[in-house]
Amino acid sequence: MFSIRKSSTELSNPRWHFSSAAHAEWGFYKILEYMGIHEILPPGSGKNRAKLWKDIEEYLTAYAIDFDDADIDTFIALRPEGLAFDMEEKLCVLLEYTRAMDTNEDWAEKKEQQENDRYSSLLGFINHLSHQEKSGWKASQNNFTTGVRGSLRTNQFLTRLESLGVENKNTRGAIRNRTVQKTLSMSDMILKFFFIALSSKTDWTLQNLPTEIVNKNMERFNLHLQPPRL
């Protein structure tokens, strides 16, 4: 997501602020606090954290979503791979970047649905709480998915970049190309390590790479050699 962040902030009037959510400070509590929807006190303070827990319970109950305490813990622990904030329009966008096996025609649609399902309740709660608090914030999600062979849905990919403030057409194209190149480079590295492990014939290899896995990865290797669908 670095390319998106760098290209967007180079605009003459950048509106978008991009933050990684990979660290604890950008967990669920931090997102709400940053948007000013819910003030979160440090661990041990209790009061506001208990209120948030109750708010989540009420939301899940109102929408007839089955849950238990473990589900709420999981709910709170969700962390998207990246976040984009437009402070002017009060937009919060959850960013997900994933690689998927692109062997079937509907591979992108399936991965898109998986990612949307994963965060649907989280987005619903943020928008619900924003409406309740009259904060004006709206949350949505943008997924950037590429196949291990470099496939991607070009129009969708470019449109989502543009929606995040990357207005220059050439810049969007450059990000797309770099994304495909990085994906292919990653797949190539994984395959090289795989064949090194396979050819070493060590005890670890024999124990951890059963015949089914070997055959499956050989199949993926052959598919990897085919040209990507762009």
Domain that includes residue 101, residue range: 2-224
Q: Is residue 104 part of a domain?
A: yes
DSSP 8-state code for residue 180: H
Question: Interior CA angle at 180 toward 106 and 15, to 5°?
Answer: 95
- CA pair distance 164, 85, nearest whole angstrom: 9
Condensed to tens digits (0 to 9), the pLDDT of residues 137-174 reads 999 999 999 988 888 899 999 999 999 989 899 999 99
Place of tokens 């978008």: 16
In a domain, 53, yes or no: yes
Q: DSSP for 51-71?
A: HHHHHHHHHHHHTT----HHH
Q: Which two tokens stand for residue 145?
A: 């998915």
Q: Give the C-alpha separation, 129 to 192, whole Å.
A: 48
pLDDT in tens, 43-87: 555 556 677 888 889 999 988 888 888 888 888 888 888 899 998
Q: Which string of DSSP letters, residue by residue, matches 2-48?
A: HHHHHHHHTSSS--EEEEE-SSGGGSHHHHHHHTTS---PPTT--HH
Predicted confidence band at 2 (pLDDT cuts at 50, 70, 90)?
very low
Q: Does 193 map to a domain? A: yes
Look over the chain and give the mean of its residue pLDDT values, rounded to a whole number. 78
| Residue 229 maps to a domain | no
Angle at which helices 169-200 and 154-163 pack, to 10 degrees? Answer: 120
Question: Could you give the number of structural domains in the chain?
Answer: 1
- Alpha-carbon distance 116 to 140, whole Å? 10
**41, part of any domain:** yes
pTM (2 d.p.): 0.74
In a domain, 40, yes or no: yes
Token output for 211: 């015949």
Would 36 be classed as within a structural domain? Answer: yes
Specify the range with the lowest mean pLDDT, choosing from 98-102, 105-109, 129-133, 220-224.
220-224
230 in a structural domain? no
